[in-house]
């Protein structure tokens, strides 16, 4: 079982409008609602790849009930969300059909009490007992300690469960110090962590800070991986236009599925890059265009070398 953790779960609402203009009224042509937050997006992609996933994090209020109802209708996903008194947040994506651009509005999330945080930690440690790997994903809701991910990384390591961390800012800096098996920052998050805008140098520095493996999302340049086995870059053949929300989550799903299937690193990166690109042309985060994915698998270019570095 793959475990994904989304401490700041959400109800993702996507509006499609013909053309988004400031200070104007808009007629919405289509509305979709999905369970959201990075780990839930990862889980939906994993199930589409044939994996069973348990999701945990926090849920509360009427919005939380909608999220759980939607999860019930998602095959191969086990709902292990922990209830809280506050209301689950909403995220609003407005897609401009004319340009393909997306405007994102993210609520902060409910305030988590110390008792609720303790209850989650207990539930998380119980879930680790049956997990093959765990992904810790996304932002921290108010009330959760900034070092929360560091503690969750250490718990996974104690349980012998490989852990991938995908967050940003201070939560990432502290989490890296706890020595996760891998991290998946984008270029900006990696630069903020290391102070370097050179991806090669930055991935090496992130490993020195504690991450065993660093896989950096570089936008149209694909993925750069610095691992104990070597360093590789996977580049998509073309840049697809659409909604980029969730592209990084699709890449995480590719990395996790490749891990549990024991794929070599070039093959993991090929899958993750193809999934990330194919998610851009899907209508909402947590999905990917299967035709585009299968076509891209044979066209992703992977360069690099095996090394002990």
Cα torsion 93, 95, 96, 101: sign: positive
8 Å CB contact between 49 and 251: no
**d(C-alpha 40, C-alpha 137), whole Å:** 9
Phi, psi torsion values for 180, nearest 5 degrees: -70, 160
Among residues 12, 166, 181, 249, the one annotated as catalytic is 249
Tell me whether residue 249 is one of the annotated catalytic residues. yes
Q: Which of 21, 48, 83, 59 is nearest to 279 (CA)?
A: 48
Give me 275's structure tokens.
Answer: 């999934």
Interhelix angle 187-194/199-208, nearest 10 degrees? 60
Q: Which of 7, 13, 3 is nearest to 58 (CA)?
A: 7
HSE value, Cβ hemisphere, 13 Å, CA-based, for 76:
14
- Helix (H), strand (E), coil (C) string for 132-169: CEEEEECCCCCCCCCCHHHHHHHHHHHHCCCEEEECCH
What is residue 207's three-state secondary structure?
helix
Give me 121's structure tokens.
Answer: 């930690």
**d(C-alpha 285, C-alpha 167), whole Å:** 17
Q: What is the DSSP-derived secondary structure letter of residue 112? A: P
Tell me the Ramachandran region of residue 53: left when phi exceeds 0, alpha when psi lies from -120 to 50, beta otherwise: beta
Residues designated catalytic? 249
């Amino acid at each position: 079982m793959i475990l994904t953790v989304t401490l700041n779960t959400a109800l993702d609402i996507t509006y499609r409008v013909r053309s988004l203009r400031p200070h104007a009224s808009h007629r919405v042509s289509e509305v979709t609602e999905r369970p959201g937050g990075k780990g839930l997006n990862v889980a939906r992609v994993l199930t589409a790849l044939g994996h069973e996933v348990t999701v945990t994090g926090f849920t509360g209020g009427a919005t939380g009930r909608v999220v759980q109802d939607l999860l019930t209708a998602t095959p191969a996903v086990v709902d292990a969300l922990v209830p809280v008194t506050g209301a689950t947040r909403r995220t609003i994506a407005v897609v401009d059909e004319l340009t393909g651009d997306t405007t994102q509005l993210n609520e902060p999330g409910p305030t988590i009490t110390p008792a609720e945080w303790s209850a989650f930690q207990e539930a998380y440690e119980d879930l680790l007992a049956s997990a093959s790997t765990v992904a810790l994903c996304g932002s921290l809701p108010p009330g959760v300690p900034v070092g929360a991910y560091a503690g969750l990384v250490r718990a996974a390591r104690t349980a012998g469960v490989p852990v991938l961390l995908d967050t940003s800012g201070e939560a990432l800096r502290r989490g890296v110090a706890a020595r996760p098996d891998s991290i998946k920052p984008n270029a900006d998050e990696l630069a903020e962590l290391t102070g370097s805008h050179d991806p090669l140098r930055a991935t090496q520095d992130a490993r020195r800070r504690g991450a065993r493996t660093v896989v950096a999302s570089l936008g149209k340049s694909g993925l750069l991986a610095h691992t104990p086995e070597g360093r590789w870059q996977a580049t998509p053949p073309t840049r697809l236009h659409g909604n980029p929300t969730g592209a990084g989550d699709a890449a995480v799903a590719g990395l996790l599925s490749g891990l549990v299937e024991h794929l070599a690193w070039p093959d993991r990166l090929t899958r993750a890059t193809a999934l990330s690109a194919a998610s851009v042309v899907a209508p909402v985060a947590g999905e990917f265009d299967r035709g585009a994915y299968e076509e891209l698998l044979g066209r992703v270019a992977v360069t690099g070398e095996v090394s002990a570095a």
